Chain A
Amino acid sequence: MKIRVKAFARFREILGSDLAIEVPDGATMAAVLAALRDRAGDESDAIFDEAGALRTHVVLMRNGKRVKRDDSDALADGDEVALFPPVAGG
């Protein structure tokens, strides 16, 4: 099935904007994040930690609502996942 991924700010520069990734039916967020980690390659440490987990301050959304990085719900074909690095400056 196809999952749309929208990345913002620095993440858009690393991953590209509005990408579609293919995951097996019944896959969870973990499969999407693994695909994104591969895609980010050398620049993945901006998004993922040493253990390969999504950095804890990153905001992760599924269909416009916040979800946890270890969300175990199965995704559905056409779902939209958004990744956003919060900023802290003023």
Chain B
Amino acid sequence: MLTEQERERYARQILLFGEEGQERLKKAKVFIAGAGGLGCPIALYLAVAGVGEIRLVDRDTVDRTNLNRQVLHWEKDLGMPKVRSAEAKLREANPDIRIKAVATTIDETNARDMVTGADLIVDAMDNFPTRYLLNREALRSGVPLIHGAIRGFDGQVATIVPGRTACLECIFPEAPPAEVFPVVGTTPGIIGLIQANEAIKYITGAGDLLAGRLLIWDGLAATLETFTVEPRPDCPVCGGEMRP
């Protein structure tokens, strides 16, 4: 049940998807992997939308070079674990939800715990090895994964529904080379909000997901395109096997 305060807080979006949709958001548990350029806008917008439980995981502390894009971290937060800095802002933004902030490196030993009981995994990582780990965990648990990544003015998003769509390794069998990537804050802002929008759609059941589609944002050209991505029968992770 929604409280009076919640009905008022979410009045404008209850007009969109009803109290039933809002109840679904309230019941939802979302694991956001990363509290950086993508994780900050994703966590903020899911928090104010009323996602009942946000699990935010990141190993880093706030550095001044983060501040051009990681909008939940401010000058006063330098040196603080990112998840603590983010948690403080999210609690102020919406005291009606639960924030579980964990300062740790996501690896084989803890990924399963983070996914257990979650309705969704949102990929806000900055490297492909951890993304591949999240993908395997999504396939194992059946929990959908909303992938996003950025560089410079460019970004990509895909929603992976285990058993229904291509998995992350079907789409990207080879990781792009690791680098210190150039980036302006608007790019993770745009891509992170497309991911948050996918999360809200998945939870409320509204609209069409980017399932089986890869969205490509080219910020310099200001173009956005989607391409069909099919499961690869020779994918070493999912084998391209779909549920009947």
* A contact set with B: CB distance below 8 Å: 8-10, 12-13, 17, 56-57, 59, 61, 64-66, 82, 84-90
What 10 A-B pairs are tightest by C-beta distance, nearest first?
A87-B151, A89-B181, A90-B126, A9-B154, A57-B174, A56-B174, A90-B38, A88-B176, A57-B176, A89-B151
Q: Please, how many residues of chain B have a CB less than 8 angstroms from a CB on the other chain?
A: 42
Cβ-neighbour of A88 out of B171, B175, B218 (below 8 A): B175
B227 touches A57 (CB 8 A): no
B37 touches A8 (CB 8 A): no
Which A residues are CB-close (under 8 A) to B152? 9-10, 87
Give bound CA distance, A89 to B225, whole Å.
19
Which B residues are CB-close (under 8 A) to A82? 227
- What's the least CB distance linking B73 to chain A, in Å? 14
A64 touches B228 (CB 8 A): yes
* B contact set with A: CB distance below 8 Å: 34, 36-39, 123-128, 148-156, 171-179, 181, 183, 188, 214, 216, 218, 220-221, 225, 227-230
Which B residues are CB-close (under 8 A) to A56? 173-174
Give bound CA distance, A9 to B219, whole Å.
8
A-B contact count (CB 8 A): 89
Chain A: CB-nearest residue to B130: A90
Give bound CA distance, A5 to B155, whole Å.
20
Given A9-B152, A88-B176, A89-B150, decide whether A61 and B126 contact each other with a Cβ distance below 8 A. Answer: no
B230 touches A89 (CB 8 A): no
Which A residues are CB-close (under 8 A) to B150? 87, 89-90
Which A residues are CB-close (under 8 A) to B228? 64-66
Subset of 23 A-B contacts with CB under 8 Å: A8-B154, A9-B151, A9-B153, A9-B218, A12-B218, A13-B220, A57-B174, A57-B176, A64-B227, A64-B228, A66-B229, A66-B230, A84-B216, A85-B176, A86-B149, A87-B149, A87-B176, A87-B181, A88-B128, A88-B151, A89-B37, A89-B183, A90-B150
A56-B174, A90-B124 known, 8 other contacts, Cβ within 8 Å: A13-B220, A65-B227, A65-B228, A65-B230, A87-B151, A88-B128, A88-B179, A89-B181
Which B residues are CB-close (under 8 A) to A9? 151-154, 216, 218
A8 touches B175 (CB 8 A): no
Chain A: CB-nearest residue to B35: A90
Which B residues are CB-close (under 8 A) to A12? 218, 220-221
- What's the least CB distance linking A49 to chain B, in Å? 12
Which B residues are CB-close (under 8 A) to A13? 220
Give bound CA distance, A8 to B227, whole Å.
12
- What's the least CB distance linking A81 to chain B, in Å? 12
Give bound CA distance, A90 to B59, whole Å.
14
Give bound CA distance, A17 to B179, whole Å.
25
B175 touches A57 (CB 8 A): yes
Which B residues are CB-close (under 8 A) to A84? 156, 216, 227
Give bound CA distance, A56 to B229, whole Å.
17
Give bound CA distance, A82 to B37, whole Å.
28
Chain A: CB-nearest residue to B33: A90
Give bound CA distance, A87 to B127, whole Å.
9
